[in-house]
C-alpha cells in the first residue's frame, strides 16, 4: 500500500460515520463513471468493425430505449 493510500485511509477513518457514508457514495460514483467510460471506449473500438460488417447504425432513439429498458430492469430488481 502506498503512503498516499494510507493517508486517505487515515483521513477517512477520522471522519464521523455520516461523512464516511458520503465518501463511500462518492467512490461508488467515481467507479461507475470509470466503468461507463471504459464501456464507451470498448464500443468506440468495435464501431468500425460493426460498420464494416454492415450493421445498421444505432439511432439516438435506439440508445434511449435501451437505457430506459435497463433502468426499468434495475428498478424492478430493487
How does residue 78 score in pLDDT terms, banded at 50, 70 and 90?
Answer: low
SS3 55: coil
Greatest extent of the chain over all pairs of C-alpha atoms, in Å: 57
Which residues constitute the domain of residue 33?
Answer: 3-77
Average pLDDT over every residue of 29-48? 93
pLDDT at 28 over 70: yes
Q: What percent of the chain has pLDDT over 70?
A: 97
Q: Grid coordinates standing for 11? A: 483521513
Which pLDDT value is given to residue 58?
84
Average pLDDT over every residue of 15-35? 96
Confidence (pTM)? 0.59
Average pLDDT over every residue of 45-50? 90
C-alpha count within 13 angstroms, C-beta hemisphere, residue 22: 6
Q: How many domains does the chain have?
A: 1
SS3 54: coil
CA–CA separation, 37 and 46 (whole Å): 15
**Cβ-contact 16, 5 below 8 angstroms:** no
Amino acid at each position: 500500500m502506498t503512503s498516499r493510500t494510507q493517508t486517505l485511509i487515515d483521513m477517512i477513518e477520522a471522519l464521523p460515520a455520516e461523512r464516511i457514508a458520503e465518501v463511500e457514495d462518492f467512490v461508488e460514483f467515481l467507479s461507475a463513471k470509470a466503468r461507463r467510460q471504459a464501456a464507451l471506449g470498448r464500443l468506440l473500438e468495435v464501431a468500425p468493425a460493426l460498420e464494416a460488417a454492415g450493421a445498421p447504425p444505432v439511432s439516438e432513439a435506439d440508445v434511449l430505449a435501451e437505457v430506459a429498458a435497463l433502468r426499468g430492469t434495475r428498478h424492478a430488481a430493487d
